Amino acid sequence: MRRIGLTQRVDAVPGRDERRDGLDQRWQSVFADLGALAIPLPNSGAGAETLIDTLDLQGIVLTGGNDVAEAPQAGNVAPERDRLERDLVRICLARALPLLGVCRGMQMINVALGGHLGRTTGHAGAAHPISVSDDGPWPDRWQVNSYHDVCIPRDGLAPGLRCLAVSENGDVEAFRHDDGGCHGIMWHPERELPHRAEDLAFMARALGL
C-alpha cells in the first residue's frame, strides 16, 4: 500500500494557548477508496525531508485551510505550515515525488514557484462550472465545489505551470507542472460524498497510485 503524506491546517485555540494541527476526516475515506494510506504530517518538529524519508512517503498532498502569507488580505495565516509546505514543494520537485495541491495547497505551489495570488468573489461556499483545456482530464463545463476567496489569476500562474481549467471569471482552477509530477486543483474532492469517480481517477494518476 502506497503511503501519501498530507499536510494539515493550523488552528489557534482561544483560551488554551494551543496551536493545533487538524485534517478533515473525509481525507481518510478518499485514500481508502484509492487503496492508499493517508499519513497526516505535523507542521512543527521534524522537517520536510525527515518526514518524507522516515515515513517512506511516495507522494504528498498539500491540503486546504489557512491563508498563504502572500495572499492579498491574508488573515488566518500559519507561518510554520508555510515553511513546511515550501520545503515539501522544493523536495518533491527535486526528487520527482508526486505532489498534489488542493485549494490553499495549489496556491502554495504557485507562490513557491514564483507566481502570485489575487482575490475573487462568489467562490466561497458556491458550486460553479469550470472550462477544461484540451489536455485536461475532466469533462468540459464540469461542476466543482468552491470554498475560497483567494485565487490564482491567469497572469499570476508561475513559470513551468500549465493551466488545465479555468472558472467563468478566468481564474485558474487546475494546473500541472511541465514535468508532469506536480498538479493542483482549487476544489475539494474530499467534501463530495460519495467521492466522485472523476476526482478519484485524477488523484490516482496525479499521485501514481
- Count of alpha carbons within 13 Å of 71, Cβ hemisphere only? 27
Predicted confidence (pLDDT) per residue in 104-128, tens digit? 999 999 999 999 999 876 656 678 8
Q: What is the pLDDT at residue 169?
A: 87
pLDDT greater than 60 at residue 137: yes
pLDDT greater than 90 at residue 173: yes
User: Which homologous superfamily does the CATH classification assign to the domain defined by 3-206?
Assistant: Class I glutamine amidotransferase (GATase) domain (3.40.50.880)
Cα separation of 41 and 111, whole Å? 21
Cell of 148: 475560497
Query: For residue 149, with 0-12 CB atoms within 10 Å meaning exposed, 13-18 middle and 19 or more buried, which class applies?
Result: middle
Predicted confidence (pLDDT) per residue in 9-41, tens digit? 999 888 888 999 999 999 999 999 999 999 999
Confidence category of residue 74, pLDDT binned at 50, 70, 90: confident
Q: What is the pLDDT at residue 122?
A: 60
- Count of C-beta atoms within a 10 Å radius of residue 154: 12
Predicted confidence (pLDDT) per residue in 39-56, tens digit? 999 998 889 999 999 999
